[in-house]
Amino acid sequence: MRVVVTGGAGFLGSHLCDALIARGDLVWCADDLCTSGPANLRHLLREPRFHFARSDISRSLDVPGPVDAVAHLASPASPPDYHSLPLQTLAVGSRGTENALGLALRHRARFVLASTSEVYGDPLVHPQPEEDWGHVNPIGPRSVYDEAKRYAEAVTMAYRRSEGVDTGIVRIFNTYGPRMRPYDGRVVSSFVRQALRGEPLTVYGDGSQTRSFCYVDDLVRGLLTMLDADVPGPVNLGNPEERTVGELARLVIELTGSGSPVRRLPLPEDDPTRRCPVIARAREQLGWSPEITLREGLRHTVEWFRSGPSQDDEARPRRISRDAAGV
* Residue 310's pLDDT band (cuts 50, 70, 90): low
- Assess if residue 325 is contained within a domain: no
Is pLDDT of 57 > 70? yes
Chain CA centroid to CA 263, Å: 27
pLDDT digits (tens, 9 = 90+) for 87-140: 999 999 999 999 999 999 999 999 999 999 999 998 899 999 999 999 999 999
Q: Is residue 221 a part of any domain in this protein? A: yes
In this predicted structure, what is the pLDDT of residue 309?
57
pLDDT (tens digit, 9 = 90+) per residue, 191-240? 999 999 999 999 988 888 889 999 999 999 999 999 999 999 999 999 99
Whether the per-residue pLDDT at 308 is higher than 60: the answer is yes
Q: Is residue 156 assigned to a domain?
A: yes
In a domain, 300, yes or no: no
Task: Tell me which residue range forms the domain holding 223.
Answer: 2-176+214-240+275-291
Q: pLDDT at position 315, please?
A: 45
**Total domain count for the chain?**
1
- The DSSP call for residue 205 is T
Closest-CA residue to 47 (of 21, 12, 13): 21
Determine contact, residues 1/109, Cβ cutoff 8 Å.
Answer: no
CB atoms within 10 A of CB 241: 12
User: How far, in Å, CA of 136 to CA of 143, rounded?
Assistant: 8
Annotated active-site residue in 120, 145, 176, 215: 145
Tell me whether residue 234 is in a domain.
Answer: yes
Q: Is 159 a catalytic residue?
A: no
Q: Is residue 198 part of a domain?
A: no
The full DSSP string for 112-173 is EEEEEGGGGBS-SSSSB-TT---B--TTSTTHHHHHHHHHHHHHHHHHHHHH---EEEEEE-
224 found inside a domain: yes
In a domain, 101, yes or no: yes
CATH number of the structural domain spanning residue 224: 3.40.50.720
| One-letter amino acid for residue 127 of the chain | P
